[in-house]
Amino acid sequence: MNQIWLTIDDGPSTRAEDLLEFLRSKRLGALLFCRGDYLRAKTEWGVRAIKEGYIIGNHSYDHPHFSMLTHEQVREQIAKTDAIIDQIYIEAVVRRPQKYFRFPYGDAGANDEIVKANQQLLGQYGYYSPIHLPRRDWGWDVQVMDWGVETSNVAQKLEFARKQLSHLRLGDVLDLHDKAVNFELGLTQNICQTVLELGFNFYSNRNFQEQTACR
């Protein structure tokens, strides 16, 4: 079966409930990389997502460029969000599975030495990626620029997304976004439908939990 990994960054936004309902109704597995500041304000949503089988991943506290941060600031971005996620799992009465992290903008550090130090720090906090070993953070294979969406450019965004999706391969990681500003949920729905029309399916939440993928 041609399966791919669906990951969704930057939430939970004001439309996160609708997004979760869409994923649940279509039985689409997804790894939800959340900002700590947003998640702190929407803990009930986090509890619901976890109870429905979704994994909450760490996407930093307030989405900075990590190449602009000191080592202690990097630690704080990871640790503050880690603690929020831990508390939400406690409230959901669900044991937290493997910890997953994604750097905002894919910015893992300013140079090779800092990138290595940041990877070591992720290791100290127990973060791991079965997808992009030996890295401990999740990257992606395909992005579709599904942000900055306005009524006037939905068609162009979808056209670009379909072109990008043509590059999908078995086991790839697709990166979508949960944005509050200028975002149309219909674009997410159309992107997911296009993936299915291309002959792919999405890995389930159980797959994310069991880390069954190998590269």
Task: Inform me whether the pLDDT recorded for 168 exceeds 50.
Answer: yes
> How confident is the model over 69-89, as pLDDT tens digits?
999 999 999 999 999 999 999
At residue 118, the 3 state secondary structure works out as helix
Average pLDDT over residues 2-17: 94
Q: How far apart are CA 45 and CA 12, in angstroms?
A: 8
Query: Percent of the chain beyond pLDDT 90?
Result: 79
pLDDT of residue 214: 41
Q: Can you give the pTM of this predicted structure?
A: 0.94
pLDDT of residue 154: 81
Domain made up of 3-210: CATH architecture: Alpha-Beta Barrel (3.20)
> How confident is the model over 97-106, as pLDDT tens digits?
889 999 999 9
Q: Where are the domains of the chain?
A: 3-210
Is residue 138 within 8 A of residue 171, CB to CB? The reply is no
Task: Inform me whether the pLDDT recorded for 191 exceeds 70.
Answer: yes
Average pLDDT over residues 43-52: 97
Task: Inform me whether the pLDDT recorded for 54 exceeds 70.
Answer: yes
Average pLDDT over residues 149-156: 81
Directed axis angle between helix 71-92 and helix 112-124, to 10°?
A: 30
Average pLDDT over residues 54-71: 98
DSSP result, 77-116: HHHHHHHHHHHHHHHHT----SB-B--GGG---SSHHHHH
Task: Inform me whether the pLDDT recorded for 182 exceeds 70.
Answer: no
Average pLDDT over residues 140-148: 91
pLDDT of residue 149: 80
Task: Inform me whether the pLDDT recorded for 50 exceeds 80.
Answer: yes
Average pLDDT over residues 123-134: 92
Task: Inform me whether the pLDDT recorded for 213 exceeds 50.
Answer: no
Q: How far apart are CA 192 and CA 213, in angstroms?
A: 20
Is residue 10 within 8 A of residue 178, CB to CB? The reply is yes
